[in-house]
Structure 1
Amino acid sequence: MKKMFALAAALTVTMAAAQSTVTGAGASFPFPLYSKMFAEYKNDKGVAVNYQSVGSGAGQKQILERTVDFAGSDNPMSDEAMKDAPGQLLHIPTAIGAVVPAYNLPGVTAPLKFTGKVLADIYLGKIKTWNDKAITALNPGVTIAPLPITVARRSDGSGTTYVFSDYLAKVSSEWKSKVGVGNSLQWPVGTGARGNDGVAGVVKSTPGAIGYVELVYAKQNKLPFGSVQNRAGKFVLADNGPAALAANGVVIPADTRVSLTNSANADAYPIASFTYVIFYQEQKYGSRTQAQAKALKDLLGWMVTTGQGYNEPLDYAKLPAAAANKAKSILNKMTFDGKKL
């Protein structure tokens, strides 16, 4: 009889989980990937996932306020940012993506070459036209019209901004001292737009524009994007392989919070990053049920295992084995009312 009751209870939890909706909000960087993942997950498991692409900053705010089950963020939250959280927050990476300098230059067909210093100087407002000698010297034989540069950047709190500024701060002491690193910055120049799609839209509609966007947004909008010189001096065009190599040789800490920009790997693309899901270790809070907690854990476990099969077709790199294993260990820390899920 006890076995029958236990089986009935387990079946109730499973059925409730299958009928629930998991909610998330945050980064636009992984939104094309998450849209595919969550559609496939619903088809496979019957669980709907409502994810709002509102920017990493907004996602972090919503998880702190506990208005979503999980946040999406391209940068891990700092200890300072988490100190006011009402519970222990955990991070797991779900993919590696590349941030590319996309541009709109009529007549230029080959990918332009950029150094970190040139990108920093463009975003500092020091390089104002496309035929500036700092750009033409990197691209001999390429005819570049003397168009003024329209700088496009994010207006919202953005993990893509964090990744881009994290890279610039590593290669430009002037950028580090004058602008720094963050989701939101005091920009010296530029036209602001919300989301990766917003920045891509500004670039697409403005001859002479340049903007930093996640690789898939450049490809979806048919925007040319440049190669970027890595730490080894090689100009690398973003793709799955070079983005994945950014994690090679990087020690992944137990909590997985780490920067991948300006990798020492000789073949790595230098502006690459994990994108993260952030959630609470203790899942019993507010009116949450055990079924909701289990639904979240099952979803996240699927994202770092079966779901990885969707990364590369959508121009994201899969998680390295070390990162995937640490993500699984972190998921095993999830509890409900103090007991492991």
Structure 2
Amino acid sequence: MSVTAAFATDITGAGATFPYPIYSKWAEAYKAKTGIGLNYQSIGSGGGIKQINAKTVDFGASDMPLTSDELNKDGLMQFPAVMGGEVLAVNLPGIKKGEIRLNGKIIADIYLGKITKWNDQAIRAVNKGVNLPDMKISVVHRSDGSGTTFIFTNYLSKVSGDWKSKIGMGTAVKWPVGVGGKGNEGVASYVQRIKGSIGYVEYAYALQNNMIYTQLQSHDGTFLMPSSETFQAAAAGADWAHAPGFYEILTNEEGKSSWPITGATFILMHTSQEKPANAKEVLKFYSWAYDNGAKMAEELVYVPMPKSVVDLIRSSWKEKIKDTSGKSVWN
């Protein structure tokens, strides 16, 4: 991605680290084709929301969708760019990818500080035959305002009454235990360094860093490995056409094959554009990505938006994003 001074036609964006690997890939291909660069700051969803509200970037990016009320209050609209899954990465000697199984209650209790050892009875009960070490669990979470944290804590709030009542969900929460890393990058780095650690990261980061991750139990009770198929199964239940402002959350979806910690990542833009030419370039970039970026997304195990949803998104651009005279930016 361009880190040089942006040219007049270069696009600027900031926010979610969850989609950074695919935005980088799209940006490289788009620049090669059009000469237009994307300067994207992977600073976390909380930072992206702040920057778009301050109008310091052409678009913000967040894995936490904003409600219609929040969008209207700040003169924003949002649309989903791509979907993906989060995994629990661990650093345990002698344990291979997918060898350990975890369910929502166990994960919540680990992050609440109630389960503190890897050979705790609750973990042993779902991991018969696995040689679990007598080792302290080191919890790693995000330190910044994060949509990845929103998706993770939204999931924990659905599977653990204890978590819901004591901690709840949000881009930042009051963590009872653990050490905080900045961005998906920071969490991945801590987990790789700290023996006995566990952390939640977007799957592409686990793949890129060759990390060990666990199986997770689906809403319907099956244990699953993360994959395009299990992310797609979770995404299939989304009803985008009836989601106000594309507000859709994909955690703990029903279905034997649905990965439980799945989410979309969203682009935030102002509905009244003081720089309509810049806004149009942003839309051209995402339009190109919808048409040409699916294979790249799948290579990094993200789930592209279905064509029917892309049609809805383009209609929303036409309807909602206007210049200061009220003329549609997208046509």
On whether the aligned pair clears a TM of 0.5, the verdict is: yes
SS of 2:232's equivalent in the other structure is helix
2:157 is the alignment partner of 1:145: no
2:108 is the alignment partner of 1:120: yes
**Could you list the runs of 4 or more consecutive aligned residues of structure 1 that deviate by over 6 angstroms after TM superposition?**
none
- Other-structure match for 2:272: 282
In 1: Cα distance, 2:308 partner to 2:261 partner: 21
Paired residues of 1:90 and 1:278 also in contact (CA < 8 A): yes
CA offsets 1:9-48 (integer angstroms, 9 cap, x no match): xxxxxxxxx9511100000000010000011111111111
Give 1:271's match in structure 2, choosing from 240, 249, 261. Answer: 261
Paired residues of 2:68 and 2:245 also in contact (CA < 8 A): no
2:245 is the alignment partner of 1:255: yes
- Other-structure match for 2:91: 104
Matches within 5 A, 1:1-341: 20-79=9-68, 81-82=70-71, 84-85=73-74, 87=75, 89-109=76-96, 111=98, 112-252=100-240, 253-283=243-273, 285=274, 288=275, 290-333=276-319, 334-336=321-323, 337-341=325-329
CA offsets 1:163-218 (integer angstroms, 9 cap, x no match): 00000100101100100010000001010010001000100001100000000111
Paired residues of 1:161 and 1:184 also in contact (CA < 8 A): yes
Go from structure 1 to structure 2 and tell me whether the alpha carbon gap of 1:155 and 1:175 turns closer, same or farther (over 3 Å shift): same
Superposed displacement of residue 304, structure 1: 2.3
Superposed displacement of residue 245, structure 1: 1.2
Superposed displacement of residue 81, structure 1: 4.0
Question: How many residue pairs end up in the alignment?
Answer: 318
> What stretches of structure 1 of length at least 5 have no aligned partner?
1-17
In 2: Cα distance, 1:322 partner to 1:146 partner: 50
Superposed displacement of residue 303, structure 1: 2.4
SS of 2:226's equivalent in the other structure is coil
Paired residues of 2:97 and 2:213 also in contact (CA < 8 A): no
- Other-structure match for 1:9: none
In 2: Cα distance, 1:82 partner to 1:339 partner: 20
Go from structure 1 to structure 2 and tell me whether the alpha carbon gap of 1:44 and 1:149 turns closer, same or farther (over 3 Å shift): same
Superposed displacement of residue 254, structure 1: 4.9
Paired residues of 2:218 and 2:258 also in contact (CA < 8 A): yes
Go from structure 1 to structure 2 and tell me whether the alpha carbon gap of 1:302 and 1:180 turns closer, same or farther (over 3 Å shift): same
In 2: Cα distance, 1:110 partner to 1:19 partner: 46
Paired residues of 2:139 and 2:197 also in contact (CA < 8 A): yes
- Other-structure match for 1:11: none
CA offsets 1:291-333 (integer angstroms, 9 cap, x no match): 2232122112222222223110111111133322222222222
Superposed displacement of residue 255, structure 1: 2.2
SS of 1:255's equivalent in the other structure is helix
In 2: Cα distance, 1:91 partner to 1:212 partner: 25
SS of 1:143's equivalent in the other structure is coil
Return the letter of the residue paired with 1:250: A
Percent same amino acid among aligned pairs?
Answer: 41
In 1: Cα distance, 2:231 partner to 2:97 partner: 21
Return the letter of the residue paired with 2:295: G
In 2: Cα distance, 1:161 partner to 1:110 partner: 23
Paired residues of 1:19 and 1:46 also in contact (CA < 8 A): no
> What stretches of structure 2 of length at least 5 have no aligned partner?
1-6
CA offsets 1:61-120 (integer angstroms, 9 cap, x no match): 1111111110111111234544541x2x11111111111000000011252101000000
